[in-house]
Each structure stands twice: as structure tokens, then as C-alpha cells.
A and B are shown apart, each in its own frame.
Chain A
Amino acid sequence: MSSTTLSESHSRQGSRQELSVSISGLSHWYGKGATRRQVLQGVDLQIAAGEVVLLTGPSGCGKTTLLTLIGALRQVQDGDVRVFGQQLKGAGRGQRQKLRRRIGMIFQGHNLLRCLTAEQNVQMGSDLLPGFSYRARRDQAREWLRAVGLDAELSKLPHDLSGGQKQRVAIARALAARPKLLLADEPTAALDSATGREVVELLKRLAREQSCSVLMVTHDPRILDVADRLVRMEDGRLFQAIE
């Protein structure tokens, strides 16, 4: 099965580095000419396979930019960014799109497809996996919804789900593509504290089971304790937080 060869190639690269993400000297600018503004200044960051890293910092300090660069959503301007050992600096559109299939993303808003049921939304994730039949992918989608505790909500549209339920569907969708790296941007922002806590714990547990690394941006001080490691960003620079 092609997914086996995929994971073999991961581990071969991994054995050399054992790192999901390896960044050194990453700088990024927005705008041009006089309005050019530096948002990242020589960022260094390593995330080991299976590690859960929380990134905090004030708004506008460059957290989201860092996330989009690691997520291969943006072209790297200067510095070294390797995800699963693959250099992202100078990577083309097609290369980045392929890499994105191996990175799960969870957004501040749930970003579910409004016209799809919970089950279909999750299957949009598992549809990215090659070599499975429609039925198998649908069963996987159901399995993931069961794992996030939504087996009763399979055929509900996002419109009919609560905020917490939607975010749990988003987690299921992200994990359904079996990523080895999960990027989450304030996944608890739209949730009350109890629900937020629940969602993050669920996220961490499932990521662990998949030995999937997590980089989560958050403002929420109540969830900091789920992290293996905390990093803090200020004015485009990264600091290892002391616990």
C-alpha cells in the first residue's frame, strides 16, 4: 500500500534528524519598499516527532506568519525551514501542495464546508489518502468522528452543531488525512473554557496516538499545561519559555 511506503520514507528521513520541523535563521517581511515591515527576525525552532509545542505571544508578533510558513502556505523568503526534512525555501507551488497533504491544520474558525455533513467534512480529509476505496474512506471518517465523540452527529450540517462540536469535527478532519504534524491556530478561541479545555485534551490525546507532532498557537492560559514545551514570541523573535 502506498501509505506504507510513504511512512517508510518518513522514518528514513526521520532517522537522520528525528525532527518534524527544523527552522534556523527564518526571517520574513511583509510589504515592499518604504512600507516593508519585518515580522520574523531570525527564528530558530525544532519540533521533535510526537512533541506538543505551544506558541504564545501578543497579537501581531508573527505567530500566525510562522505557522503559515511551516504549513507551506507561504513562500519562505529567507532562512532555513525543513518540514519532515524537506527544504521549503524555494519550494514550488506543487511541492508545497504535496507537503500540505501531510500536515494537518486546525483554524481559529472551524472552517468546515457548510454544504457537507460532519461525516462528509471529515471524509474530505480522508479522501486525500491514496489507495483506499470510497467505502473505506467513509468508514475511516466515521471512526474519527467516533474518536472525537460525535457518533450521533454524523449526518448533521455544521449549521446544526455547537461551537465545540464543530471544532471537534475540524480536529477529526485534520487527523483523518493521517498527518505527522498538526498546526493549530487558537483552536479554543471561539469556545468557552470548559469546552476549550476538553477540545485541546482530545487533540493532544489523538495526536499522541498517531505520534503526530503539534504546534499550537494560543492565547489561552488555561491550556498551557498540555504542552511538552512552551515557546514565546515577541516582536518576531522566539524565546524558549522557562517552565
Chain B
Amino acid sequence: MSGGFWSNRGIPLASLMLIRQPVRLAVALAGISFAGILMFMQLGFRDGLFDASVTVHRLFDTDIVLISPRSTSSVSMAGFPKRRLVQAMALPEVEGITPVNWNLLLWRNPETRGTRSILALGFEPGDPLFTDATLAPKAKQLTQKGRVLFDERSRPEFGPVAEWFREGRVVESEIAGKRVRVAGLIELGTSFGADGNLLTSSETFRELLPNTPPGSIEVGLIRLNADADAEEVVMRLKTLLPDDVTVLTKQGFIDFEQNYWKTGTSIGFIFTLGAAMGFVVGCVIVYQVLYSDVSDHLPEYATLMAMGYRLFNLLGVVVREGLLLALFGYLPAYAAGQGLYLLVRNATQLPVAMDFSRAFTVFTMILIMCMASAGLAMRRLVDADPAEIF
């Protein structure tokens, strides 16, 4: 086989048919790209929203998380006795614990005086909270009563807190009717349930929410020794602790939150439907283009059959046209997707980024789109009767 595939090739009919009809090619590629961009956006939003729902969850410096079984999501966290967290200390694998208060509170915009709900976390300023090491020195500021650390990545509706603070001004505002002062800035990021975040000490937190029973917390963080198996400790804690707490691994805590948004809301459905619409629109466009392409060239296909080409060869031309369209329609969609993700990240602070699995999913969808359309357009080829062309 000195010749091989390359030498046995024929005229590249599929690509020539596409290239020599630039308008049709442009329409097809625009349609496919559009469908691809739509799918990228919808799936990106969906995954971004699910990801965003756990922005804060991911930051915790913890291996195991205790929550109340009555908690359904970050926007409705119920309290449980802090005792349970202390009980967990009984296990030798447990290295440290951090009790955390967690609630949505009304923050008054210091500029416009409007209020908006913000996620407030209360903890003992000396306890480790986040894996981010820059927090510890700032946390010291919280030992003074009425001080908060404000998330500078909160949405602008909370007021120009970060700007004012950087300018050296004293930023004071009200939370739940109590006066607080911003003692520093942190960087967390918005999530689906919370447009902004702030940290405060447990003491201040109880003052902001005087109805919280003493000794009640919403989240308990448990850190283990480096060589401990979190799954196994979770099992032991479940038997050790009564039913008034749910024991989760850190990943379990993240899944718990994401699961709420995936199953408890229609977000997943809406955005998946949006992506499906993109798919359908793409199918219609590619089918139209390929079908009219085959129809226009029917006499030529019939001529080829009269010359002795097999129907199979001609079907191959249509399939290759579909493949080429898929490939060259996907590339601009991918590039545009990257650009739009950047735009979305800047405009909404949602953690939307191109990942391999989504890039692959969209490519697969485009491929299916083009192949299905090619398959349907092929049926037209059966009408190519070489006897009719004389």
C-alpha cells in the first residue's frame, strides 16, 4: 500500500460545494454558530448559577459540616445546638471546630438609604473560617463590637462601601436597625442566594439578631487531622450525635446546596430548555441549508450516478458537508462563547467559564445537529434518478 488513503482520494466534492457557494456557506455557519453560542450561553448560565450557589460554601476551611436537618438551603438555614459541635470534639480525629452563625440580614445602603438582604456570617474572630489566610489578620478587627468585614465583590446595590473604605472614610451603616461600622474588606463573591456577604463576630451577630437563642448556630465546621478519612468520620459522627443535626462532608455540604437549586427550583429546567431551543433552531437552519443544497444539485448528483458513482458515494458527500459545517460552525461559537463568558463574569460576577465538558457537550450537540440534518436531507437524494436527466 504505497498509495494509501491520500493518494486514493478523489475530488473533495463536499468542501468544494460548500466553498463555491459562499452565501449559503455563510448562512449555514452563521446559523450553526448562533445555535452553538445560544447553547454555550444557556448551559454556561445554568452551570454558573449552580456554581455560584456555593461560592461561600467552597471557601470554608473544613472537612465536615454540621447543619440542622431543618435547613433547606443557604437562604433558609435553621439553627441547632452548638453543643453538638462540641460533642464532635470527642473523636480523636477532630482537630478543631468553628461554630458559625448564618443568616440573611437587611443591609442599609449608606448612600441611598435603601435596604437589601445580605448574607451575614458570625464567627469567633480567633477561629479559622476560610482557607484563605488573609482573613485572620482582618478578623482581629471584629473583636470590637459592631464591626463588620464587607465583601467588596458584593453587588453595587449595597452602596459604594468598598470605594469609600479605600478612600479612608469611615463607612457606617445599619443592619437590622443596628449601627455597624465597616472594619475591613474581604473578597468572597456573590452567590445565587446572596447578592453580598459580610462577616462579623458571633457577639455582634447575636446583637443584630437578638432573637437567636444563645448557644444556637446554623453551621458547624469540623476540621480533621491530615490523615483522617472524612467519610469514615462522618459515619461515626452520625451514630454519635442525635438526629437534630445532619452530618455532611464539605463536598456533601456543597452538593446539598446545589441540589436545592437544581431540584427545588426551575433554573435547571429553564436553562436546559433554552439550550434545547438553540439546538432545535440550529437543526432547522442546517436542515434547510443542506436540503436546498441537495435539491439544487439534484441534476448533478443524478449525473454522477449516471456516470457510475454509487448512491453511497453521494450520501458520503452530504455527510461530509454536514461534518465540515459542524466543525467550522463550532469554532466561531467557541470563540464567541469565551468572549461572552468574560462579559458575563464582568457584568454579573457569576463564575461562568469555559470548561472542557461543556465545550465537548456543545460540540457533540452541533455534531448531532449537523448529522441529523444531513440524514434528513439525504432522503432527497433518493429522488436523484439518473434516467430523468437525458
Pair B7/A115 contact, Cβ less than 8 Å? no
Interface size for A (C-beta < 8 A) is 36
Residue of A with least CB distance to B296 = A114
Pair A111/B303 contact, Cβ less than 8 Å? yes
The DSSP consensus for interface residues of chain B is helix
Within A25-67, the residues touching B (CB, 8 Å) are 64, 67
For residue B309, which residues in chain A have a CB less than 8 angstroms away from its CB?
128
Which of B11, B299, B305 sits near A97, CB closer than 8 Å?
A: B305
Pick from A11-19, A68-76, A206-214, A230-238 the stretch touching chain B.
A68-76
13 A-B pairs in the complex with CB atoms less than 8 angstroms apart: A71-B306, A71-B390, A74-B387, A97-B310, A98-B308, A115-B19, A115-B21, A116-B16, A124-B304, A125-B307, A128-B308, A137-B10, A157-B20
Pair A134/B307 contact, Cβ less than 8 Å? no
Interface string of B10-45 (1 = CB under 8 A from A): 110100110111000000000000000000000000
B-to-A contact residues, CB < 8 Å:
3, 6-11, 13, 16-17, 19-21, 297, 299-300, 303-310, 386-387, 389-390
Chain A to chain B: the 9 pairs with minimum beta-carbon distance, closest first = A101-B308, A115-B20, A100-B308, A133-B7, A73-B387, A127-B10, A111-B303, A74-B387, A73-B386
Residue of B with least CB distance to A117 = B16
CB distance from B103 to the nearest CB of A (A): 68
Q: Is A87 engaged at the interface, CB distance under 8 Å to the other chain?
A: no
Residue of A with least CB distance to B310 = A97
For residue A148, which residues in chain B have a CB less than 8 angstroms away from its CB?
none
Residue of A with least CB distance to B21 = A115
Residue of B with least CB distance to A113 = B300
CB distance from A217 to the nearest CB of B (A): 9
Pair A120/B11 contact, Cβ less than 8 Å? yes
CB distance from A230 to the nearest CB of B (A): 20
Q: Is A105 engaged at the interface, CB distance under 8 Å to the other chain?
A: yes
CB distance from A96 to the nearest CB of B (A): 9
Which of A71, A116, A133, A185 sits near B11, CB closer than 8 Å?
A: A116
CB distance from B14 to the nearest CB of A (A): 10
A-to-B contact residues, CB < 8 Å:
64, 67-68, 71, 73-74, 97-103, 105, 107-108, 111, 113-116, 120, 123-125, 127-128, 133-135, 137, 157, 173-174, 177, 185
Residue of A with least CB distance to B300 = A113
Pair A108/B390 contact, Cβ less than 8 Å? yes
Q: Most chain-A Cβ atoms within 10 A of its Cβ — which of B11, B16, B299, B310?
A: B11
A134 to B10, CA, bound (A): 7
A75 to B286, CA, bound (A): 35
For residue B308, which residues in chain A have a CB less than 8 angstroms away from its CB?
97-103, 128, 177
Pair A107/B7 contact, Cβ less than 8 Å? no
CB distance from A38 to the nearest CB of B (A): 17
Are A107 and B305 also in contact (CB < 8 A) when A134-B7, A135-B7, A157-B20 are?
A: no
Pair B306/A100 contact, Cβ less than 8 Å? yes
Pair B390/A134 contact, Cβ less than 8 Å? no
CB distance from B289 to the nearest CB of A (A): 15
Residue of A with least CB distance to B7 = A133
Pair B6/A134 contact, Cβ less than 8 Å? yes
Which of B9, B299, B307 sits near A177, CB closer than 8 Å?
A: B307
Residue of A with least CB distance to B6 = A134
